């Protein structure tokens, strides 16, 4: 079994951002030499998500507004009694999920035609990390 | 390490449908010959989910009504400015998730007594695909 | 490829509980001898979650109140026509998700500084099980 590990770093300008990372992941799959296997793409911070959905700006705005409705910015989270102000980010990240596992088939990411991998930042403007772990043969 | 890849195809009669696929996945695990490993079951379209929950019709209706409350059909999604009309399907699929990873132990799917795998279609009436990727020994 | 499988058991005092299991998972990774690979941590019951987020009591209460808002206890679920009373638990578990896949790098769980693994029980006071499946080299 082969394995290959890499980290992607992000430091977003906005508090909330949605960044397509499909190409970065695909390049690492190629670099790993794995022909059949799995890639884990996982946010290492607890106020960020990794998800798969459409690469379409209208939808990305829809997702952002929808998350804000389901898990709004709000001063009253109990978590804020610790001095933090990012309670909403901890909740938003649960809706989209914090990781995806992508299949590798014949040496390539085996994605459907519209599947795109995104890093979603909910508490940005500081350095964050995503782990890429590839295993297979 | 062994690997085995297969695709399941769906073309639902309804716009939204919930289809149990546990048996199909179990058969592919048997076919793969893998005794210890993992199966990734992942929707390849971005308006569908794969999830694990109860095989009980009342609950399936509860899930459907609940998703409609959290991510309703609505003409006003920005995504619809592209000519699409499935904004709600892109959001519903985020709640249930688009993939599961199932354990294989001693040659069988290692599921709890009520765990059932479902394909959830939110924008059907056309051909859709689910990837099954099995890796292990 | 090495593999190692273990089950964790829970029987919570409360109906709903959030239990940190990072240390238990880390010990099993050590015991497995796997240096590079993946750990699947998956609830085997359909009214429980496994998720990664902050180990902070205020946030845990925020999560609990938030789940109760999004998927409330309610006598009217159709699922209850079967005699069950845990419809909300089946829905709450979908929001947090029922499994995570954790990376193993150089023999250790490769988690960010605040990443903690939790078992979330939504229908407790009876025996429940979580599967830990480790694969790698």
How far away is chain A from the Cα of C13, in angstroms, using its nearest Cα?
A: 23
Of the CA atoms within 13 Å of residue C16, those in its CB half-sphere come to 16
Q: Which residues pair with C2 in a beta bridge?
A: C136
ipTM for the complex shown: 0.97
- DSSP characters over chain A: -EEEEEEEEE--SSSSEEEE-HHHHHHHHHHHT-SSEEEEEEESSTTEEEEEE---HHHHHHHHHHHHHHS---TT-GGGGGT---HHHHHHHHHH-SEEEEEEETTEE---TT-EEEEEESS-SS-EEEEEEEEE-
Chains near B, with 3+ CB pairs < 8 A?
Answer: A, C
| pLDDT given at position B133 | 98
Instruction: Name the closest residue on chain B to residue A98, using Cα atoms.
Output: B97
The rounded mean pLDDT for chain B is: 98
Contact C59 A131 (CB under 8 A): no
| pLDDT given at position C104 | 98
- Suggest the residue from A2, A39, A79 to mutate for an interface test with chain C (most C CBs closer than 10 A): A79
Question: pLDDT tens for residues C104-133?
Answer: 999 999 999 999 999 999 999 999 999 999
Instruction: Give the span between the Cα atoms of C29 and B120, in whole angstroms.
Output: 34
Question: pLDDT tens for residues B36-62?
Answer: 999 999 999 999 999 999 999 999 999
Contact C98 B36 (CB under 8 A): no
User: A-chain residues within 8 Å CB-CB of B45?
Assistant: 112, 114-115
Task: Fill in the DSSP letter of residue B50.
Answer: E
Residues of chain A with pLDDT under 50: none
C62 → closest Cβ in A46, A78, A95? A78
Question: pLDDT tens for residues B87-113?
Answer: 999 999 999 999 999 999 999 999 999
Question: Is C87 touching B (CB cutoff 8 A)?
Answer: yes
For the entire predicted model, the pTM comes to 0.98
Question: pLDDT tens for residues C22-66?
Answer: 999 999 999 999 999 999 999 999 999 999 999 999 999 999 999
The rounded mean pLDDT for chain C is: 98
| pLDDT given at position B16 | 98
| pLDDT given at position A91 | 98
Contact C63 A99 (CB under 8 A): no
- The C-alpha torsion from C102 through C107 and C111 to C116, rounded to 10°, is 70
| pLDDT given at position A6 | 98
| pLDDT given at position A104 | 98
| pLDDT given at position C58 | 98
| Contact present, C54 and C114 (Cβ < 8 Å) | yes
Question: Is C133 touching B (CB cutoff 8 A)?
Answer: yes
C44 → closest Cβ in B1, B53, B115? B115
Question: Is B68 touching C (CB cutoff 8 A)?
Answer: no
How far away is chain A from the Cα of C85, in angstroms, using its nearest Cα?
A: 25
User: B-chain residues within 8 Å CB-CB of C91?
Assistant: 62-63, 66
């Amino acid at each position: 079994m082969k394995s290959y590990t890499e980290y992607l770093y992000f430091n977003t300008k906005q508090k909330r951002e949605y960044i397509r990372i499909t190409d970065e992941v695909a390049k690492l799959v190629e670099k790993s030499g794995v022909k059949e296997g799995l890639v884990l793409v996982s946010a290492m911070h607890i106020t960020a998500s990794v998800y798969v959905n459409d690469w379409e700006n209208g939808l990305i705005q829809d997702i952002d507004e929808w998350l804000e409705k389901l898990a709004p910015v709000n001063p009253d989270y109990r978590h804020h009694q610790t001095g933090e102000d990012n309670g909403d980010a901890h909740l938003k990240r649960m809706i989209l999920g914090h990781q995806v596992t992508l299949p590798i088939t014949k040496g390539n990411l085996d994605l459907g035609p519209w599947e795109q991998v995104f890093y979603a930042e909910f508490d940005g403007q500081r350095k964050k990390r995503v782990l890429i772990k590839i295993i297979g043969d």
